[in-house]
Amino acid sequence: MLFFIFLLSPCFFWITAPRTLAYELKTAYANIIYQDMETLERFNRRINLGRLRFHMPQTDGSTMEEVKAKVDLITHRVQSVLDMYPDQMRYNIYLLANQKEVMDTYQTLYRSQRNFTAFYSPQLNTVYISPDRLNITILAHEIGHVVVENFFDISPPERIHEVLAQFAERHLGN
């Protein structure tokens, strides 16, 4: 039985991963997978750091370097707010082209229709998000789920997961 599951797991990922994504950007914490530079640029523009911009490290000004710095800054800040620092945490962010792709991906993975702006899949350790309605609090919320899931050996109940992710998003700038 275990062998059968092992054989199917790469197929499961292949079936559920969006087929149009082609590029990967690695940060200290995340692998950001996106289909084109325009999507990455829209993602970058939508992440307004507000007061956190004072903590942003210097970059060369390129979109790729800015995105890496922003995602790592937000990830580090979420860990600090939650006081949870998972060992060697790595996760994926799939930047999908639009809101419909986010909903379709959720439907494919969970056989349920939801109108989420973004969502985190703990089984795949992946955030699925579109720049369409993105803002820093939505990204912080999803990264909150990542941190909580990677911190505990046994995942907390869904309700506790949600409370901690909401806490992270609300206290991000404090």
Main-chain phi, psi angles of 91, to 5 degrees: -145, 170
Do 106 and 121 contact (CB within 8 A), yes or no? no
Whether the per-residue pLDDT at 20 is higher than 70: the answer is no
Domain locations along the chain: 2-170
Give the pLDDT confidence score for residue 81 in this predicted structure: 97
Confidence of residue 22 (pLDDT cuts 50, 70, 90): confident
Determine the Cα angle at 102 with ends 100 and 103, to 5°: 65
Pick the range with the lowest mean pLDDT from 16-25, 51-60, 105-114, 157-166.
Answer: 16-25
pLDDT in tens, 39-57: 999 999 999 998 888 888 8
- What's the topology of domain 2-170? Glutaredoxin (3.40.30)
Q: Looking at residues 49-68, what average pLDDT do you find?
A: 89
Q: Which two tokens stand for residue 71?
A: 């995602």
